[in-house]
Amino acid sequence: MGMISRKLRSVEGGGLMFWCPGCDGGHMVRVGEGSGPRWGYNGNPDAPTFTPSVLVRGVDRLTDEEREQVMAGKHVDPRQIVCHSFVTDGRIQFLADCTHDLAGHTVDLPDWEA
């Protein structure tokens, strides 16, 4: 992963990653030519805009208690997570369907930690 700016990292295959403060982790979009879904990118690494919206779905990490239940042979349904946002001019607008605490808020795109 290469650093393009304080806000973006490049990933092989045309991927760009930004840090999501709602998920406390990186999200990747693919830009330019290539296979698979591609996002529009304004070309500004310090105040990026990606179009259309960025939708990330997954499952949350298991808690220690849930891990113990799994190890004991019990079934645990992992919590579904959703992060849905617009990244515009270096700001992230988190939509209402997000499952984290920043749902409905707009914040500056944070810098990656060095």
Structural domain span for residue 92: 2-108
8-23 per-position pLDDT tens digit: 999 988 899 999 999 9
Q: How confident is the model at residue 114 (pLDDT cuts 50, 70, 90)?
A: low
Burial 42-56 (b: 16+ CB within 10 A, else e): eeebeebbbeeebeb
Phi, psi of 9 (to 5 degrees): -120, 145
CB under 8 Å, gap of 24 or more: what pairs does 34-41 form? 38/14, 41/16
CA distance 31 to 39: 5
pLDDT band at 67, cuts 50/70/90?
A: confident
Domains held by the chain: number: 1
Residue 68 lies in a domain: yes
In a domain? residue 113: no
For 32-64, write each residue's pLDDT tens digit.
Answer: 888 889 999 999 999 999 999 999 998 877 888
Indicate whether 48 belongs to any domain. yes
Asked if residue 62 is part of any domain, the answer here is yes
Has residue 114 been placed in a domain?
no
